[in-house]
Structure 1
Amino acid sequence: MKMQSNHDSLFIMLATLYSVLVLSSSQDFDFFYLVQEWPGSHCDTEQGCCYPTTGKPASDFGIHGLWPNYNDGSYPSNCNSSNSFDASKISDLISRMQLEWPTLSCPSKDGLKFWGHEWKKHGTCAESILDQHAYFETTLKLKNKINLLHALEGAGIQPNGQMYSLESITSAIQVASGYTPRIQCNNDTSGNSQLHEISLCVDSMASDFIECPVLPNGRSCGSSVEFPSF
């Protein structure tokens, strides 16, 4: 009987160790990118945009996502297909997400597909520390720790369709946040480089901002950048 008990204990210990190793190997990461997008730039392209079913979003930066990353610049994705997005788990956050994490895809949508994509591709790779509710709630809290639009407007950079130097945009965010942002641009219908996304880095526990170990790849900007109205 004692030998059987020892075998059972060993089996449980090995099974637990295996589960931990599998989880860590598929979900380890070094930090997050918090990526926010300017809706005016998203819409001012040949592809255009569609407002969500709740109406035109506010003239403010909206969340694109919170993305786990590695220090070498690569990232994990789609880490757990069995943990599907469940809107009922974030029912208390929906009204805030409609304001701060709106969808601009066409045709007009309610945001659920967008949020589900972000959870499936990125959120499942952080589920060892953030369940679905915590993933979305934490992202909302991080967005509100640093108000990007106020930081730019405080430096005289307004969403008015004018051109601003990339250096001044980067400096305004750096002064307000204390951290170096990654500014990414797209092109408007006239081919002008315009401010599209701003990324800041967050520690691996998603608790606070850090200096980026590596800045994300993406569409670079010209020396002068348009900040379109919305």
Structure 2
Amino acid sequence: MTLFHQLFIVYCWIAYCLTRLNCLNIQCLDGPDFWCLNGTTESLCNFTNKTIGLCGYSNKRCQVKIGDSFCKSSPPAQQQSPFEFNGGLTGTDDDLFSYYSLSLYWPPSSCPAKYNETIDLLSYFCSPYTDIDQPGSERLALHGLWPTFSTKGNYQGWPQFCSSTKSDWSKCHIDGNLCPWKNMTLNDFTQGDYEYCLSVENVQECLIDPVEILEPERERLKILAPGYLGKRNLFINHEWTKHGSCCSSIFGHNISNYLTHMLDLVDMVTRPGSLTYEYIQRYAGEKIGLDYLLTIFNQTAIINCNSKCELEEIWMCMNRDDDSGLPNRLITCPPGARNASDSCRKARCEYVFIPLRNHVGVNHTGDYYFSSILRNLLCFIFILILLKFLVSFCTSGTFLQTTSQSNCFVDQK
């Protein structure tokens, strides 16, 4: 072998090693530094001019300095660790994600006893079908099915308001220019306000056809996803544009397929015999140890509580099938996802309380109202019987005492 050939082989080997080293050090979606968009990551991931929440809490690009990592530059000061990150990347390409989160909520923690379509309109979880005595009011219900980022087990937030060959849904994000109200509002104008504006102004780019999408599933929705039957269809509009758009190609760009599959998953994970049925539904009205609950789910679910340690939501991690791309089984949630959403531990909850509604004396539910009257009547009858017994006992005792004193007087004579 000539010297030239030897040098050529050495050169190729060195080039290969350098290429491998570069790929290991810089990979799209690899590690929390991905979220600080700069020239390298934008070029590598093809995310030019995309918008990301600054470490999950704003809609600006990260302010990155040399030597900084994970958006810790100033201003603004960022002290979030990678495991605390919780943000979405807006406008990414459809079909770019690692696994799914199936989110279920507990209506008694989120909804009033009686839904008011004016006051509660932007409470997406709620509708007339979350009212007391409705079939979906006291069971786990569908929030959504969310494509989620993860690389090598490292949780990295989620894609949102994605674009595909069919549609660009990024304009449905609050940074879009579809809402004529946006420039006339205060600083507290939210994504919910933006979506309400789109609905009122009938902006078709971000709206679904309720007759085509919701009506065929109406009976199942009442039980499995009662919030989806709220006024103006804001819930399904939000879930499709924010999350469904990022896996739309998997569902044939068909919202009906997406909704049907979500309902099938909810039915699968909440039916009798399932973990949620045995350890959440059957504990309704009681409390259950948090550590015990996490052990039962074997790290395949994230439990969310409010400040009173009441169950609010449960997020179940599901695979992305290698062939179909669909979710069909539970998987272990990435550690970062569990840490970023561990609201029960942040509220210092040892137990999770699973609240029920107070049915007593509610006029619009006839059976419960009748039961309340009957229960009160029985209590009243019991008290009367008890009083009669006490009177009889006291009268008998007085008579016996009088007789005894009379006998003693006779004996003394």
Q: Same fold (TM over 0.5)?
A: yes
Instruction: Structure 2: give runs of 5+ residues left out of the alignment.
Output: 1-45, 48-91, 113-118, 163-167, 170-204, 358-413
Alignment of 1:177-196 (within 5 A): 180-187=300-307, 192-196=308-312
The SS at the match of 2:138 is: coil
Cα distance change of structure 1 residues 112 and 155 upon mapping to structure 2, 3 Å threshold: closer
Aligned residue among 19, 22, 26 for 2:93: 26
CA contact 1:148–1:173 (8 Å) conserved in 2: no
Does 1 or 2 have the higher relative contact order (CA < 8 Å, sep 6+)?
Answer: 1
Alignment of 1:1-230 (within 5 A): 26-27=93-94, 28-43=96-111, 52-54=127-129, 56=131, 57-71=136-150, 72-79=155-162, 80-81=168-169, 82=205, 84-90=207-213, 91-103=215-227, 109-110=230-231, 112-130=233-251, 131-147=254-270, 151-152=275-276, 154-155=278-279, 158-160=283-285, 162-174=286-298, 180-187=300-307, 192-204=308-320, 205-209=325-329, 210-214=331-335, 215=337, 217-218=340-341, 220-221=343-344, 222-230=349-357
CA contact 1:202–1:208 (8 Å) conserved in 2: yes
The SS at the match of 2:93 is: helix
Q: Which moved more, 1:115-124 or 1:140-149?
A: 140-149
Structure 1 residue 76 displacement after superposition: 0.8
CA contact 1:170–1:181 (8 Å) conserved in 2: yes
Cα distance change of structure 1 residues 89 and 125 upon mapping to structure 2, 3 Å threshold: farther
Aligned equivalents of 1:229, 1:29: Cα separation in 2? 36
The SS at the match of 2:249 is: coil
What amino acid is aligned across from residue 303 of structure 2 in structure 1?
Answer: I
Structure 1 residue 113 displacement after superposition: 1.2
More helix by share: 2
The SS at the match of 1:207 is: coil
CA contact 2:105–2:141 (8 Å) conserved in 1: yes
Q: How many residues align?
A: 195
Structure 1 residue 183 displacement after superposition: 0.5
What amino acid is aligned across from residue 227 of structure 1 in structure 2?
Answer: I
The SS at the match of 2:102 is: strand
Aligned equivalents of 2:271, 2:311: Cα separation in 1? 12
1:4-63 Cα distance to aligned partner (Å, 9 max, x none): xxxxxxxxxxxxxxxxx99xx61111111000011112138xx99795234623321001
Structure 1 residue 148 displacement after superposition: 7.0
User: Among the aligned pairs, what percent are the same residue?
Assistant: 24
Cα distance change of structure 1 residues 88 and 152 upon mapping to structure 2, 3 Å threshold: closer
The SS at the match of 1:154 is: helix
Aligned equivalents of 1:186, 1:148: Cα separation in 2? 25
Aligned equivalents of 2:279, 2:226: Cα separation in 1? 26
CA contact 2:130–2:227 (8 Å) conserved in 1: no
Aligned equivalents of 1:54, 1:112: Cα separation in 2? 14
CA contact 2:305–2:312 (8 Å) conserved in 1: yes
The SS at the match of 2:101 is: strand
1:95-128 Cα distance to aligned partner (Å, 9 max, x none): 3123211229xxx934711111111111111111
TM-score by length of structure 1 reads 0.71
What amino acid is aligned across from residue 159 of structure 1 in structure 2?
Answer: A
Aligned equivalents of 1:185, 1:149: Cα separation in 2? 23
Aligned equivalents of 1:61, 1:168: Cα separation in 2? 19
Cα distance change of structure 1 residues 93 and 200 upon mapping to structure 2, 3 Å threshold: same
Structure 1 residue 219 displacement after superposition: 5.3
The SS at the match of 1:146 is: helix
Aligned equivalents of 1:142, 1:109: Cα separation in 2? 21
1:125-172 Cα distance to aligned partner (Å, 9 max, x none): 111111211110111111111227863563585111x33210122233
The SS at the match of 1:206 is: coil
What amino acid is aligned across from residue 180 of structure 1 in structure 2?
Answer: T
CA contact 1:152–1:158 (8 Å) conserved in 2: no
